[in-house]
Every structure is written in C-alpha cells, then in structure tokens.
Amino acid sequence: MKTAAQLVRLKSVQNQQVHSIAPEQTVLEALQIMAEKNVGALPVIEGGQVVGVFSERDYARKMVLKGRSSVGTTVRTIMSTPVITADSQQSIDRCMAVMTDSHLRHLPVLDNGELIGLLSIGDLVKESLVEQADLIRQLEHYIRGH
C-alpha cells in the first residue's frame, strides 16, 4: 500500500505542482487560477501554513447561491476551514477514509508541516483500482501456479 507522499510523487509532473492562493486574494483571482491550471481546489496559504482550502464547491455554495460578487469577496471569506490534512506517511486507504468520512474531494498532504501536494478523491480511486488489479493478477498467477 502506497503512502500519500508516494502518490503525490506518482502524479504527472504537470499535476505535481501545487497551485495555491493567499487568503486576501479575491475569489475571482482564485477562479482564474483554477481555470488556467485546470484544478478543482486551491490550498490557501498564509505565513507558509495551510489555513484553508478554496474549492469549486465553496464557490457554488457560498458565492453563487448567496449572490456574492467574485470581484469584491476575498478567499478568506468563503474558504473551507478548519483544514483537514494528511500526513505524508499516511496510507492511501487512510486518506480515502478521511476524505469519505469528512466529505472532502481534495486533501492537502503535509510533510513535517510543509505542503507537498494535494490529492483528489479521483487520485485515490485511480490508485486503489491499480492496486486491486495488481492483487487480482498476483492471485491469478498463484492459483495457476505460475
């Protein structure tokens, strides 16, 4: 079973880079970054620490439905807090359990308090399917005596 850090390193080079935003930036700036980078969430960083997560879900529920303006609203106003994170050495299964139990789609991964990546529920599902397929192949080889 892989760890969160191993899965972050396995992501394509393009998807390994963590795009983030400051809490005082506007929601419009966050949306522009998300669209440009094709990501669904941004960790919110202040003083080198993850203080929140801004996601498409936050935008839909806390902006659109409440009639707020993306130009005049800061990320701090609608970011999700407190931040639930994964330690770099947590297993993929543990990360998936945390995300499922907390109804999260994105999980910041920290190594000694430093943000090293952001895992999506899709990343975890994909890795689980790969691991299950490998296990099935191993069992089939064992049963056949190869």
pLDDT for residue 52 is more than 90: yes
Q: What is the mean pLDDT of the chain?
A: 92
- d(Cα 31, Cα 54) in Å, to the nearest integer? 9
pLDDT for residue 15 is more than 80: no
Residue 16 pLDDT grade (very low, low, confident, very high; cuts 50, 70, 90):
low
Q: How far is CA 131 from CA 2, 11, 37, 108, 120, in A?
A: 9, 15, 28, 22, 17
Q: Is 55 helix (H, G, I), strand (E, B) or coil?
A: strand
Q: What percent of the chain has pLDDT over 70?
A: 96
pLDDT of residue 65: 86
Asked if the peptide bond before residue 43 counts as cis, ω within 30 degrees of 0, the response is no
Among the listed residues 1, 9, 39, 13, the one whose alpha carbon sits nearest the alpha carbon of residue 111: 9
Counted residue by residue, the chain has a size of 146
pLDDT of residue 117: 93
Contact 116, 5 (CB under 8 A): yes
Long-range CB contacts (< 8 A, 24+ apart) of 70-73?
Answer: 70/26, 70/27, 70/28, 70/31, 71/26, 71/27, 71/28, 72/26, 73/26, 73/27
- d(Cα 128, Cα 133) in Å, to the nearest integer? 9
pTM higher than 0.75 for the full model?
Answer: yes
pLDDT for residue 14 is more than 60: no
pLDDT for residue 35 is more than 60: yes
